[in-house]
């Protein structure tokens, strides 16, 4: 399944061959994914879409989640959960993760894909952490131009505009197999 998994912004087809379907958008040149999910290129209808995983569940304490950053605040981020322990969910449950103590210029940006560990449920809010080496950002883009970035030790560098930035990267950053790690 991992080779068919797309991330937000990822090119999934050329607009000359496919039209943008569910959970995708057309940037004038390519059809790109607007959410995490499975790629579906229908050769009959010529529609490229992303199948968002369906299953309803709430993460438990100690679970490892993967989600997309829904909001970035000064001391925390809110994350919309897509996977719990490697299993897809569409319940769109959000958790929050404190970031104030993490000494990085930009811990995570809006729409970044992050992996977190669930700490507790307090007053209806699910709290998670990204302090362990394997936790943190799995997928990010350049803050200046939206280009792809490559890891350089603790920093990231844009392959298009060369902007160097920081994130709290997971040790699984750049590893497309991470979905299977907790199965």
Point out which residues bind Zn ion (CB under 5 A). 142, 144-145, 147, 158, 160-161, 163
| Cβ distance to Zn ion smaller for residue 11 or 180 | 11
Phi/psi for 63 (5° steps) reads -65, 150
Q: Shortest Cβ distance from residue 68 to Zn ion (Å)?
A: 20
Cα(83)–Cα(64) distance, rounded to whole angstroms?
8
| Cβ distance to Zn ion smaller for residue 62 or 146 | 146
Q: Shortest Cβ distance from residue 169 to Zn ion (Å)?
A: 17
Q: Shortest Cβ distance from residue 111 to Zn ion (Å)?
A: 15
Q: Shortest Cβ distance from residue 9 to Zn ion (Å)?
A: 13
**CB-CB contact of 113 with 135 (8 Å):** no
| Cβ distance to Zn ion smaller for residue 57 or 148 | 148
Cα(40)–Cα(136) distance, rounded to whole angstroms?
28
Question: Strand order in 19-20's β-sheet?
Answer: 5-6, 37-42, 47-51, 19-20
Q: Shortest Cβ distance from residue 159 to Zn ion (Å)?
A: 8
| Cβ distance to Zn ion smaller for residue 31 or 142 | 142
Cα(76)–Cα(161) distance, rounded to whole angstroms?
28
CA distances from 56 to 38, 53, 83, 87, 133 (A): 17, 10, 10, 10, 28
| Cβ distance to Zn ion smaller for residue 131 or 166 | 166
């Amino acid at each position: 399944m991992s080779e068919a998994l797309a991330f937000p912004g990822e090119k999934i087809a050329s607009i000359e061959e496919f039209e943008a379907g569910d959970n995708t958008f057309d940037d004038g040149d390519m059809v790109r994914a607007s959410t995490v999910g499975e790629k579906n290129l229908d050769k009959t209808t010529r529609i490229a879409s992303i199948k968002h995983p369906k299953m309803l569940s709430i993460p438990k304490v100690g679970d490892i989640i993967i989600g997309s950053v829904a909001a970035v605040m000064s001391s925390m981020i809110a994350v919309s959960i897509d996977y719990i322990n490697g299993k897809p969910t569409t319940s769109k449950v959000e958790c929050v993760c404190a970031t104030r103590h993490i000494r990085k210029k930009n811990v995570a940006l809006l729409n970044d894909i992050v992996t977190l560990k669930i700490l507790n449920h307090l007053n209806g809010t699910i709290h998670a952490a990204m302090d362990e080496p394997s936790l943190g950002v799995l997928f990010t883009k350049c803050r200046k131009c939206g280009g792809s970035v490559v890891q350089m030790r603790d920093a990231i560098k844009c392959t298009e505009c060369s902007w160097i930035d920081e994130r709290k990267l997971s040790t699984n950053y750049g590893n497309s197999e991470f979905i299977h790690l907790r199965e």
